[in-house]
Structure 1
């Protein structure tokens, strides 16, 4: 058509990096939004094995009131000091509430002193402070039962973070083996081996059992710390996870058994070939017959001087002797 400009159709989905830019989010904010279910993703049908964002999902989020500030506020995270100020309580009380498991961290990082810094969703902190049932926890003296737990050294921050991370992994898991691998992430290898005896099933689990990818480069102190915090150490938590893993593996096994190497088929022992009689060439046959024939006795030796010894006629004499006519018998 003259006077018209061709506009190529937009792709139905886009990569996470592109979606984050269009939504005005940093990469860690985008990752958290996906894990929290704020942004819906779909499997990558191109075979890349990752996740993509549909164009319709981006349009839906961009059409919301207050975009992009409202979306960024929903995934905003704060530390202890900022969280305490947001809730209107001292930082010490905030830490005690977090240790008791009443405030659940959503992320962590290692500061320059290699100390763990827990991060919390600002949205959840505001909701906790606004709930009338929690008023006695924000003001006045901490209840006696809670003070006893604190005195005993209870600290549920890491455990609650593991539980939240497990929820993230289960939300992203596709298939029963991926769900079983998500549970296995929180267990030490020795615990997994004790629950899953089959080595091929453990290898299948390891395909989906990976350390958090957003807590430092592999081998770094942050990665080692995240791996340590990711592993359940309390006996009651580990026992619960072992039970969940056994159940998840059984479901995965019923759905699709773990792949195994193809059985080696050994070739059957070869039977000795029967010896068939082959036609023997004429010359070889003559030699074979001659070799099999008993040796003829040697001709009598002609000993001179022995009585009765005669010498056979040879040459012309023998021929003339054969040609001479024999006398008629009377």
Structure 2
């Protein structure tokens, strides 16, 4: 790196903003800002050894974009079951069947005061799905959806996990960090089976990312969150084991885990490297949408953006300046 680039990077880092300040500059609530970072709407930069901040150029990129701040907050619009069903013009029961069948992945969740998991979805994901699959919104439940529900009665948790792992993998800056992503959804027994070496396993455990910031107050609610984070079905577990082994091979080639530098390399993995066959309903690949400004209302949601019906009809909307389309979901379980 040239001296000029080093100086520019140092200056940018010194002037970078902490998350709370960056959220205020962008007119976002803490929850909206958290989602914006997860989705890649707001890019962050490294700060110190473990922290992250937002560069001033990133703030200016958004503030100078057309329609700011409404356009940004609309891209962060999330809806629950009731508003999602209204958005698509279907009944809440049909919306729930589509969500359970894996037609679209939740973007986040929370546990309400009745200890019920409330799933939330990006509005643009729903509109993209409706545009691509209008036949699934009317008439009898399609055979493909019935078969999916028979195999997995509720795919919402695994769809959310897959989405979060995609996001975290994209943000990982090191092969060991990438290997730690699938390790985050495996229980200790499965992790030991995939990574028998204690030094490598300790490295992965230390680097495992946090999938959700949801930390309910009651023990029962915390237990519900802990269950949602872990892979549960056999085929999902096997898929993440496969991803972990592939990422681990890349990490080993990059550098040994601490403690293994002067030890002989681990033997070949006896497990097959072939990924398990997985069938998926089509999932939207479009840009995420957003949550509008306003105080919380139904199911913890913010009120609809002004002109949301016109936005739904037009739906093309403003894409974040300089933002690329998200990775495809082909590797999701």
Q: Distance in 2 between matches of 1:126 and 1:181?
A: 33
Asked whether the 8 Å contact 2:109–2:119 carries over to 1, the reply is yes
Deviations 1:202-241 (A, max 9, x none): 1101111244351116985444322211111111111111
Asked whether the 8 Å contact 2:164–2:211 carries over to 1, the reply is no
Asked whether the 8 Å contact 2:169–2:181 carries over to 1, the reply is yes
Q: Once the 2 structures are TM-superposed, how far is the Cα of residue 261 of structure 1 from its aligned partner?
A: 8.7
Inter-CA distance 141–217: structure 2 relative to 1 (3 Å threshold): closer
What is residue 16 of structure 2 aligned with on the other side?
13
Bigger relative contact order, structure 1 or 2 (CA pairs below 8 A, ≥6 apart): 2
Q: Distance in 1 between matches of 2:147 and 2:180?
A: 37
Q: Distance in 2 between matches of 1:144 and 1:212?
A: 33
Among 29, 32, 40, the residue aligned to 1:29: 32
TM-score, length-normalised on structure 1? 0.71
Asked whether the 8 Å contact 1:41–1:54 carries over to 2, the reply is yes
Q: Distance in 2 between matches of 1:111 and 1:75?
A: 21
Report the secondary structure of 1:34's partner residue: helix
For the aligned residues, what is the CA RMSD?
A: 2.2
Q: Once the 2 structures are TM-superposed, how far is the Cα of residue 255 of structure 1 from its aligned partner?
A: 0.9
Unaligned runs of 5+ in 2: 1-10, 263-333
- Please identify the structure whose Cα radius of gyration is greater: 1
What is residue 228 of structure 1 aligned with on the other side?
227
Asked whether the 8 Å contact 2:17–2:54 carries over to 1, the reply is yes
Report the secondary structure of 2:109's partner residue: strand
Inter-CA distance 198–17: structure 2 relative to 1 (3 Å threshold): same
What is residue 125 of structure 1 aligned with on the other side?
126
- The answer to whether the aligner puts 1:202 opposite 2:205 as a matched pair is no
How many aligned residue pairs are there?
251
Q: How does 1:1-330 map to 2 (within 5 A)?
A: 12-44=15-47, 47-129=48-130, 131=131, 133-151=132-150, 154-216=153-215, 220-260=219-259
TM-score, length-normalised on structure 2? 0.70
Inter-CA distance 187–115: structure 2 relative to 1 (3 Å threshold): same
Inter-CA distance 135–261: structure 2 relative to 1 (3 Å threshold): closer
Unaligned runs of 5+ in 1: 1-8, 264-330
